[in-house]
Amino acid sequence: MLNVVIFGPPGSGKGTQSEKIAEKYRLIHLSTGDLLREEMKKDTSLGRQVKNYIEKGELVPDEVIIEQLYLKLSEYKDAPGFIFDGFPRTIVQAEKLDKMLEKNNIHINIVLNIEVDEEELVRRMMGRAQDSNRSDDKEDVINNRIDIYKEQTFPLINYYKNQGKIVNIDGMASVDKVFENICYALYAYNSQK
């Protein structure tokens, strides 16, 4: 079983890379952002509950997101492995994820830390704003998402560093090159096991 966390600021390309990783390694791609956007689109009570946070670029409360993740993990009980995209985003979420996985006797194997300069993040998100149709791809909201990343999510790097699981990936390169580097990191992980 291979469980991967893909970690990085908004706009770092986590979603794009996750899809490629999921396809190649046959993992279940769990994107909390996609999940919440789907709920908003369907106008469910969960969708309505999270809309305000997302549109301001704030994090959805931990308990809400943890419950959704718990449900997904139960849904895919026999999965060959997961790629966690956009989760965990806080220390509380990371601790909870470790506990949930532990109950099933599994753990996170590797955390891919995708590194991209701030200027480039803003450029990418502004660039995709037209096509993405995402209500949070607007300049003020983008800046807020980056600030919140720095305050609440960035500290997770230390959490996973302490567990010896972080691998840094240069996210400034082309999509294919970044993917190549990720594949190499996963290969290196598998051969040192």
Of 37, 96, 145, 165, which residue is the catalytic one?
Answer: 145
Is 145 labeled as catalytic in the residue annotation?
A: yes
By beta-carbon proximity to ligand ADP, the closer residue of 29 and 145 is: 145
Please identify, using beta-carbon distances, which residue of 136 and 186 lies nearer to ligand ADP: 136
Specify the residue, 47 or 189, whose C-beta has the smaller distance to ligand ADP.
Answer: 47
Tokens 């709920």 appear where? 39
- Does residue 80 have a cis bond before it (omega within 30 degrees)? no
Catalytic residue among 56, 72, 134, 138: 134
Torsion of the alpha carbons at 54, 56, 59 and 61, rounded to the nearest 10 = -80
**Cβ neighbours around 99 below 10 Å, total:** 9
Active site residue 89: yes
Task: State the burial class of residue 105 (Cβ atoms within 10 Å of its Cβ: 0-12, 13-18, 19+).
Answer: exposed
Tell me which of 14, 37, 96, 165 is the catalytic residue: 14
Please, what is the angle between helix 32-41 and helix 62-75, to 10°? Answer: 100
Q: How far is the CB of 66 from ligand ADP (least distance, A)?
A: 9
Catalytic residue at 134? yes
- Site residues, ligand ADP (CB under 6 A): 10-11, 14, 32-33, 36, 53-54, 57-60, 65, 86-87, 89, 93, 136, 145
- Spot the catalytic one: 128, 150, 161, 177: 128
- 3-state DSSP helix/strand/coil % of the chain, to nearest 5: 60, 15, 25
Please indicate whether residue 14 is annotated as part of the active site: yes
User: Strand 81-85 relative to strand 166-170: parallel, antiparallel, unpaired?
Assistant: unpaired
By beta-carbon proximity to ligand ADP, the closer residue of 53 and 159 is 53
51 carries an active-site annotation: no
Active site residues: 14, 89, 128, 134, 145
